[in-house]
Structure 1
Amino acid sequence: MSRFARMRYFPLIKAVLDQAGVRVEPDDWEVHSNGSAHIVVNAGHLLSVRVAKAHDAAKAMDSRVRILRALPRDLPFEVPRPLTRVISRAGYTAVGLTWIPGEARDIGPAPARPLGRALRAIGRIDAVQLGPYVEKAHFHWGGDDWETTLRETVIPRLFTDNQRMAHRIVDDVLDLDPVEPRVIHGDFSGHNLLWTKDKLTGVIDWDHTAIGDPAWDIASAANWYGWDVLTKCVGKDWAARAKIIHRLMPLQSVGYAIVNGGGGAIVRQSLERTDAWFEEHKPELPW
């Protein structure tokens, strides 16, 4: 954290630490600022302070904290638990959460057994209990209107040669047989899974939790750990379903940038990455 940023957030972070009864000097703050909505400050190994980057994230923090409180206590991994109230100072908002040991693994294979166990545990969470606190599936890139968002707002901005393939990808997802909706993490990717050696110690960032198709979490994990690992975790049928959904993710990223008010440069970068994805994966597409 730069000296300026530390000065800007210092009163807020100190207020969170004071409410939690924790004393950690700023030199021992470990700052993670690469998230799209939050800065996370790990204060020693005692707690994590989650600071909203923007007004929308600050408004949503109360509901996100309620999700963390409602998650069951018998999951096979730790989740961040609130240690303080949501606190605002000088126009910024934050909350203190439990610190979870572990680190994200590098992109590449991971042990299949703990991954599969985690996916099954998330799918068994009581959707009725969690339902009042979560958003609709895909809420961050169109919600119930995600097809319209992609077909009318995203796909026309792609290179002309890629637009036909993009429509086919949407068609294939819509043609999937329906499955019973379950609780999904919504961003079950490697940067949100913490490991200590081969033990999955924590799953963080439940902001995109929803009731939806479990294949979304499988696809997110496979994007990081690879399809061989995820096929071992969930079996061939679920892996095949997730591969169809996985093709939608580059389009989803553009939809996210547009729906959430990303500036012109952010949307352009997302479009460039999506067009590059089509060029790279065109030989693998089935049509």
Structure 2
Amino acid sequence: MDDLLEIADALLPGVRLDSASVAADGNIHDVLLIPGVAAVRVSKRALAAATMPRHVEVLHLLASSDLPFQIPEPLTPVTMFGDRAAVAVSWIDGSPLPPGVGSVEQIASVLEAVRSVELTPSLLRALDGRPSGRHWSAIVLEDVVPRLPARWQSEALRRLDAALALDPVPDSLVHGDLGGSNVLWSPSGQLVGVLDWDMAMPFDPAIDAALMAWHGWDTVRRAVSSDTYHRARTWDALFGVGHLVATLNGRPMTSPDGFVRAVVPWLEQNA
């Protein structure tokens, strides 16, 4: 933690760090929480360091989009500390809902709020990684399916075909990691803020609907249209939508073996 405190002190000189703590679920970044002040995000790997400036640009663009909720706004420029990139973003009060908790109205309000954000040309340029990468289905077909245990390969191809058979829908803003600790609520149940936009992309909004299954699939079913629900279940059935998003938006598959190690237990548990 000492290295994170040193980075925070350099980014936010004069800010007291007595109450700072490290977020428990940092996968791509280490996140130092300074309650009431800021969160300091520090890249763990080279790819996260390289993409941080684009992610910060997305936050700037979203902050000017008149959103009906708060997002973490950059307080500092992206700064390099050796091979690690870091930025401080604004603090947002509020608490996440536990798994399985949340009303139909709450889930519908989050999905509508994110989906309705206009994909302006500048936001689309910052978000859309598809032109520079492979199609998601090629990544699944070439990098993932051959590494699956033999007993799962034909079933994965069947599920891939089902996803590819979905009718095209217009792109919407998709958060890509919606639900869980990334959605904050007031004590009265009002949406306060949405954190962690690193996976945001233009795509089928049913992806976010599937991610909101954190609150229960039956709640999602009642919060969205029948078509969106069908699409959400189809996307999720492939590998679990929380895993699938790593293949979307032209993202490189940096560790296909690690991806498969994460996916196989999900397949077994949801067989």
Distance 2:20 2:71 in 1: 20
Instruction: Return the letter of the residue paired with 2:177.
Output: D
What CA distance in whole angstroms lies between the structure 2 residues aligned with 1:137 and 1:109?
34
Structure 1 counterpart of 2:128: 135
Of the structure 1 ranges 27-36 and 237-246, higher mean CA displacement relative to structure 2 is found in: 27-36
Distance in 2, Cα, partners of 1:78 & 1:17: 21
Tell me the SS of whatever aligns to 1:113: helix
Q: What's the TM-score once normalised by structure 2's chain length?
A: 0.87
**Higher relative helix content:** 1
More moved, 169-178 vs 146-155: 146-155
Q: Which residue of 2 aligns with 1:201?
A: 192
- Paired residues of 1:136 and 1:211 also in contact (CA < 8 A): no
Distance 1:69 1:87 in 2: 16
Change (3 A) 1:267 1:209: closer
Q: How does 1:65-144 map to 2 (within 5 A)?
A: 65-71=56-62, 72-128=64-120, 129-136=122-129, 144=134
Of 206, 210, 222, which aligns to 2:201?
210
- Residue 126 (structure 1) shift: 1.8
C-alpha displacement of 1:208:
1.2
Opposite residue 50 of structure 2, the aligned amino acid is: K
Q: Confirm or deny that 1:235 pairs with 2:225.
A: yes
* Of 46, 50, 54, the match for 2:37: 46
Pairing 1:172–2:165 present: no
Separation in 2, partners of 1:260, 1:144: 10
Aligned to 1:284: none
Unaligned runs of 5+ in 2: none
Report the AA paired with residue 229 of structure 2.
A
User: Equivalents in 2 of 1:174, 1:214: separation in Å?
Assistant: 15
Q: Which amino acid in 1 is paired with 2:163?
A: V
- Sort the Cα spacing of 1:174 and 1:252 in 2 relative to 1 into closer, same or farther, 3 A: farther
- Quote the sequence identity (%): 30
Query: Is 1:155 the counterpart of 2:145 in the alignment?
Result: yes
Shift of 1:35: 2.1
> Which segments of 5 or more consecutive residues in structure 1 lack a partner in the other structure?
282-287
Q: Secondary structure at the match of 2:145?
A: helix
Provide TM-score, normalisation by structure 1: 0.83
Q: Which residue of 2 aligns with 1:285?
A: none
Name the stretch that deviates more: 117-126 or 48-57.
Answer: 117-126
Q: Alpha carbons of 1:263 and 1:93: their partners in 2 closer, same or farther (altered >3 Å)?
A: same
Aligned to 1:60: 51
Could you list the per-position Cα deviations for residues 115-137 of structure 1 after superposition, in whole angstroms to 9, with x for gaps in the alignment?
21221222222212411211336
Equivalent AA in structure 2 for residue 100 of structure 1: I
Is 2:172 the partner of 1:182?
yes
CA distance in 2 between counterparts of 1:106 and 1:138 reads 37
The verdict on how the C-alpha distance between 1:14 and 1:263 changes in structure 2, with shifts beyond 3 A counting, is farther
